[in-house]
Structure 1
Amino acid sequence: MKETIQLLADIVNNLHDFIQIYVSSSLNLSLTDKDLHFWIMGFIGIVVFLFVLVISKIIVKMPFGITILSFLYTTTFMFVLVFAIEIQQALTNRGNMEFEDALVGLLGFFAFFLVFVVIAFAFFMTRRLLKSLFKK
């Protein structure tokens, strides 16, 4: 996992250098590191926001749309959490930073969510059956 994070860090650093050295200097912008972060992160953030906004509006109109949206938000949170824990283990040398640990943690969330879905479906179907029985 350390190698993967190092590879991603190298890609980000090379992209950063490319933008700062080639793009900024060729356009005579003389952007500082803070300026570069402001513009690039602002652009990435607004593009991601607009994408999520469009997808969210589509999902909310679907049956169980809020549940789907909640699942997607929680899944995003869990990805950040499990990788933050693994990175924290590497930084503090308390435990081993392993990609497999992150995957197993996410698998635990998906397993628990599947149990939730089965219980919710059983409750929904029981309630529906009882309503149809008492209407007669």
Structure 2
Amino acid sequence: MKEMVVLLAEIVNTFHDIFLGLSHSLGWNLTDKELHFWIIGMLGIMCLIFVDVIFHALAKWSVTAISFLFTLSMVLVFVLAVEIQQKITGRGAMEFNDAAVSILGFLAFCTVYFLVKMIVKWIR
């Protein structure tokens, strides 16, 4: 897990340096805060448009699908936060397998929930 976080940090830092260098070479001379404003703003709106299209399509099919995707994203953020917290405090090992098993636990409980929901719907 530590290696994954370090790799992701290195990728983000590389892109940061590329965009900052590009900004200066184009004569824009953006500060770090301005660079963050533009890059995160553009990435965020692209993600919003993509997610909006997907969620509208899913809403016609199942609101539960939207609930699942939203909850999965919250669980992923929480799991990553727990692993980082373990590394910072030294109370547990920061491992990718811990994160993977956490997500599998969520998926297992979701499977049971969906099966029960289908059975109830089928009985009605």
TM-score relative to the length of structure 2: 0.97
Q: Does 1:58 align with 2:49?
A: no
Q: CA deviation at 1:4?
A: 1.2
Paired AA for residue 67 in structure 1? T
**Which whole-Å CA distance do the structure 1 matches of 2:11 and 2:110 have between them?**
34
RMSD: 0.8
Please list every run of 5 or more consecutive structure 2 residues that lacks an aligned counterpart in the other structure.
none
Please list every run of 5 or more consecutive structure 1 residues that lacks an aligned counterpart in the other structure.
128-136
Q: CA deviation at 1:25?
A: 1.4
**Which whole-Å CA distance do the structure 2 matches of 1:115 and 1:108 have between them?**
11
Q: CA deviation at 1:50?
A: 0.4
**Which whole-Å CA distance do the structure 2 matches of 1:86 and 1:47 have between them?**
28
Q: Does 1:109 align with 2:123?
A: no
**Which whole-Å CA distance do the structure 2 matches of 1:69 and 1:115 have between them?**
18
Paired AA for residue 52 in structure 1? V
TM-score relative to the length of structure 1: 0.88
Q: CA deviation at 1:26?
A: 1.6
**Which whole-Å CA distance do the structure 1 matches of 2:118 and 2:10 have between them?**
46
Paired AA for residue 11 in structure 2? I
Please list, as runs of the form range in 1=range in 2, the aligned pairs for 1:51-90 lying within 5 A after superposition: 51-62=50-61, 65-90=62-87
Please list, as runs of the form range in 1=range in 2, the aligned pairs for 1:1-136 lying within 5 A after superposition: 1-21=1-21, 23-62=22-61, 65-127=62-124
Work out which of the two has the higher radius of gyration on C-alpha atoms and give 1 or 2: 1
Bigger relative CO (Cα 8 Å, ≥ 6 apart) = 2
**Any idea what the Cα deviations from partners look like across 1:52-106, whole Å, max 9, x if unmatched?**
00111111111xx100010111111111111110011001111110110111111
Aligned length: 124
Identity, % of aligned pairs?
48
Structure 1 stretches of at least 4 aligned residues deviating more than 6 Å after TM superposition: none
